[in-house]
Structure 1
């Protein structure tokens, strides 16, 4: 259902690599940049919050996210964060279980956010960022859900857009 699964896998792998690189300061260059060209440092790699809009992150040849840019929601943008869920597991549940939790958490919240029934067949879709084993070890427990329009960039929030 999600055309952006490569990005999710890339982010999970990047987060694991970022945790290993955090001590040498390389995370800023690998993780990405905010609007204005400022590299993200290892404390702001998870800066996107519910309600934030952003442009499609750039991935390198290995699928790692190399840039992410915040965007004003009132201007054209690709994605909008609509939900944040903290995983309650005591230990990292594994990649498949983390992916399944992200899918479950974001699916129902997606339909509520856009104001549609579960049989919605429009161009709005969702994806998510979720912890990797490496980011879990660094304290990451967040699943961040975001919505996008398969037809292209949007302006303004997509909250209630399908109703």
Structure 2
């Protein structure tokens, strides 16, 4: 008697379920050749954060050179430099600011102030024909702005320092509020600090005066700068006059001896004639505006001052806006 076929033989013979296929006919599994790209990790660290924060130094220096003519209000640059250095460090480090990072950013923001002020002083000294070393040595003209800038810059660093030392963090709103407070204090300082920084004769004759600067108050009497009243202001504010020329002289015979106030006055007027016309837009003889010359006293001459300054002004009263190309 023949043996009955087993189940496997029946299936092989075609008697199994309809959805069954022989093992050899099963489709091969599809293997994708596309590999998933690994998720890129954000690279950061202390060195990268520090390198990025250093970018504020040239940017702040350029801003200070541009804003230096506006006096103490230029200290607003220190606030912006602190905020910018902190933000760049966070961007580069890809994480919260550590204690070492907070110290590094504070050092960067602090060093930005003297670097920016020194560059601004040197630039305006060269622009006005002054001695750069003498300008830098005259700390009366830049010390107050530097101190205000340092104070406001450190104020903007409070959130980072607090977080690094205590482990607690400020909210975004608190950080923004402190930054805005620093900016407000920088602007408010312009109204209160000028009284603390009277214009010295050396500052006004050396690097404080540059062509295009606007001066307020009683600038000079008989050619001598009035230290207690003369100060530089934005030309958009009411002002006495504008500087059209800053020149130098080495004396009557070039021997360095003091030539006398009368000779210096005449020399100043001679040097002033052409720059006056070029600045105002009409020759001095045809202009309704007046000129004021400033020259060193004998004591200032002995101290090394050699600058002659020419200022154009309207005898009718203070001017608002520039007299450049006024053609009158």
Which band: TM-score by shorter chain? 0.5 to 0.7
- Which residue does the alignment assign to 2:198? 40
TM-score (norm. length: structure 2): 0.35
How many Å separate the matches in 1 of 2:276 and 2:297? 22
Residue equivalent to 1:67: 229
**Distance in 2 between residues matched to 1:145 and 1:58, nearest whole Å:** 11
Q: Which whole-Å CA distance do the structure 2 matches of 1:45 and 1:147 have between them? A: 15
Q: Distance in 2 between matches of 1:64 and 1:115?
A: 27
For 1:55-85, what per-residue CA distance to the aligned partner results, in whole angstroms no more than 9, with x for missing partners? 122789xx98232222110122111111101
Q: Is 2:199–2:231's contact at 8 Å kept on the other side of the alignment?
A: no
**What corresponds to 1:149 in structure 2?**
314
Match of 2:244 in 1: 82
Residue number among 291, 296, 300 corresponding to 1:126 in the alignment:
291
Which of 136, 139, 163 does residue 301 from structure 2 map onto?
136
What's the Cα RMSD here?
2.9
Please report the TM-score for the alignment, with normalisation by the length of structure 1: 0.66
Question: Quick check: 1:81–1:146 contact (8 Å CA) kept in 2?
Answer: yes
Q: Structure 2: any 5+ residue segments left out of the alignment?
A: 1-139, 141-191
Moved over 4 A (4+): none
Other structure's SS at 1:99 match: helix
Q: How many residues align?
A: 128
Quickly say closer, same or farther: Cα 1:128–1:70, change in 2 above 3 A: same
Q: Is the 8 A contact 1:81 1:147 kept in 2?
A: yes
Which structure ranks higher in relative contact order (CA pairs < 8 Å, sequence separation ≥ 6)? Answer: 1
Asked whether the equivalents of residues 57 and 68 of structure 1 are also in contact (C-alpha less than 8 Å), the reply is yes
Where does residue 52 of structure 1 map in the other structure? 213
Task: Measure, in 2, the Cα distance between the counterparts of 1:69 and 1:35.
Answer: 12
By how many angstroms is 1:121 displaced?
Answer: 4.4
Q: Quote how far apart the aligned CAs of 1:108 are.
A: 2.5
Of 256, 270, 274, which aligns to 1:104? 270
Question: Which structure is higher in helix share?
Answer: 2
How far apart, in 2, do the equivalents of 1:94 and 1:72 lie? 33
1:94 to 236, 260, 271: 260
By percentage of residues, which structure has more strand? 1
- Distance 1:36-1:139 versus aligned 2 partners, 3 A rule: same
Q: Which residue matches 1:161?
A: 326
